[in-house]
Amino acid sequence: MLAARNLFVSLSGRAILHDVSMALEPGEVVGLLGPNGAGKSTLMRALSGLLPFSGTVELDGDNLAAMSDRARARHIAFLPQARAIAWPLSVENVVRLGRSPWRGLGALSQKDLAIVTDAMEAMDVAALADRPVTELSGGEQARVLAARAMAQTTPVLLADEPVSGLDPAHQMTMMAALRRLAGQRRAILVSLHDLTLAARWCDRLVVMAEGRIVAEGRPADIMTGERLRDVFGITAHIAHDECGLIFAPTGLAALEPKG
């Protein structure tokens, strides 16, 4: 569905992404992991057409770079890491903005309104519908913006650290909502720092470091102690239970003798 090939991105004269190639298929939740500065946000911004890049990104065979902004917004929704909301719009009106690639400024249909309601319920913000978003907590605002991205009903959703700042229950609400979207044959790329959450909720993980993809595969195959040391610079207990892998960081790799 989405295929990125040989992406290179430079920002302010610095090479940031180096030869990144990856694909997303309908029905999968792919976790994007990597330390701060690895290039996760840059990759998502390039995939959503917000940054110039060299290489190609195709959506169902169509070249992303050749699409109009509106056409692209009907294909890819991007939930950015920064979540500043400047205007005191109501929660419902913010979520309604997710329909604008489909409706412009025209009136929303009954179907649009049903989509908006579903998205608010999926993100547990329906009870806040009439509140100004500027008065909500950071985590509540994050859920409102996630609902807006869901209301865009695109085949591809890129979510940049959508659970950061959320309480444990709403972290699971978020991951469950992403899984539900995948169940509707959408393709989801989600960057995460919580390795346990990533291993439990994602079908596949893509690991970045220093602007490159350094590993890709099923969580149990690629999230080894050696990789945690090499890529994330940590030592960790890795355990299994019926729900999947559990990672408990125990120290910094730099402080431990190699062995």
Using CB under 5 A, count the residues that bind Mg ion: 3
Among 38, 119, 182, 188, binds ligand ADP (CB under 6 A): 38
Q: Taking every pair of C-alpha atoms in the chain, what is the biggest distance, in angstroms?
A: 64
Work out whether 37 is an interface residue with ligand ADP (CB under 6 A). yes
DSSP codes of every residue in 175-229: HHHHHHHHHTT-EEEEE-S-HHHHHHH-SEEEEEETTEEEEEE-HHHH--HHHII
**Binding to ligand ADP, residues 115-134 (CB under 6 A):** none
Least CB distance to Mg ion at residue 42 (A): 8
Among 7, 32, 33, 41, binds Mg ion (CB under 5 A): 41
- Cβ neighbours of residue 91 under 8 Å, at least 6 residues apart? 120, 125, 128, 129, 130, 131, 132, 133, 136, 144
Count of other CB atoms within 10 angstroms of residue 218 = 12
| Cα–Cα distance for residue pair 116/245, rounded to 1 Å | 35
Residue type, 14: R
Least CB distance to ligand ADP at residue 41 (A): 3
- What is the C-alpha end-to-end distance of the chain, expressed in Å? 42
Work out whether 11 is an interface residue with ligand ADP (CB under 6 A). yes
Stretch that binds ligand ADP, among 6-14, 96-104, 139-147, 180-188 (CB under 6 A): 6-14
Distance from the Cα of residue 119 to its chain's centroid: 16
Give ∠ CA 90-140-138 in degrees, rounded to 5: 105
Per partner kind, with CB cut-offs from 5 to 8 A, the member of ligand ADP, Mg ion, none near residue 68 is: none
Using CB under 6 A, count the residues that bind ligand ADP: 12
Work out whether 82 is an interface residue with ligand ADP (CB under 6 A). no
Among 39, 80, 98, 162, binds ligand ADP (CB under 6 A): 39
Least CB distance to ligand ADP at residue 36 (A): 4
Work out whether 36 is an interface residue with ligand ADP (CB under 6 A). yes
Q: What does the binding site for ligand ADP look like in residue numbers (CB under 6 A)?
A: 11-12, 14, 16, 34, 36-42
Q: What does the binding site for Mg ion look like in residue numbers (CB under 5 A)?
A: 40-41, 81
